[in-house]
């Protein structure tokens, strides 16, 4: 068994969609990034790639490559699943946290888990997503950005 840890952060800006866990969330601000800037999916991808010693998302999906401009991170998560499969790994579980002052994430967490489950072709009960604020502290607390952390367990098939 192998454990991987992932982290991602993106700046909140006007005139961008807020997409987290593959869910478009109504908000006045969105996340800035080369792709759709889905911090949750990016953290999960990095945890999975790290556990398999396959590098990180920057190695596989560089922000200098026009192919990935505006791409759905769910599509990239599918690619990560394929990389794990080719390396003979299966996902045991994922536990992830979204750190955001606003908006509240709880109404969207089930949909996020469903999207991740479908992309990775694993059971929804192998995926946990939770959210927290930072009580108004730091860049997430003052709503300059949103971050996410993920930890996963994988094993050889």
Q: Is 55 left (phi over 0), alpha (psi -120 to 50) or beta?
A: left
| Residues annotated in a binding site | 8-10, 34-35, 42, 56-58, 61-65, 132-135, 139
Are 11 and 152 a contacting pair, CB within 8 Å?
Answer: no
Binding residues for a divalent metal cation: 8, 10, 42
> What is the distance of C-alpha 40 from the center of its chain?
3
Return phi, psi of residue 143, to 5°. Answer: 60, 40
Cα(45)–Cα(19) distance, integer angstroms: 15
Nearest Cα to 40, choosing from 130, 102, 103? 130
In contact, 35 and 17? CB cutoff 8 Å: no
Tell me whether the omega of the peptide bond preceding residue 103 falls within 30 degrees of 0, making it cis: yes
Which residues, 6+ apart, have CB-to-CB distance to 120 below 8 Å? 77, 81, 91, 94, 127
């Amino acid at each position: 068994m192998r454990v991987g840890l992932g982290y991602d952060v993106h700046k909140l800006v006007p005139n961008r969609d807020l997409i987290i866990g593959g869910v478009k969330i109504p908000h006045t601000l969105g996340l800035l990034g080369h792709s759709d800037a889905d911090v949750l999916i990016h953290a999960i991808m990095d945890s999975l790639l790290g556990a398999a010693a396959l590098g990180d998302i920057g190695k596989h999906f560089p922000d200098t490559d026009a192919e990935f401009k505006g791409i759905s991170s769910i599509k990239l998560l599918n690619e990560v699943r394929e990389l794990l499969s080719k390396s003979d790994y299966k996902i045991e579980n994922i536990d992830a946290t979204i750190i955001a002052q606003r908006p509240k994430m709880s109404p969207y967490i089930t949909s996020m888990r469903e999207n991740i489950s479908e992309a990775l072709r694993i059971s929804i009960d192998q995926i946990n997503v939770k959210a927290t604020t930072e009580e108004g502290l730091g860049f997430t607390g003052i709503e300059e950005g949103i971050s996410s952390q993920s930890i996963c367990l994988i094993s050889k098939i």
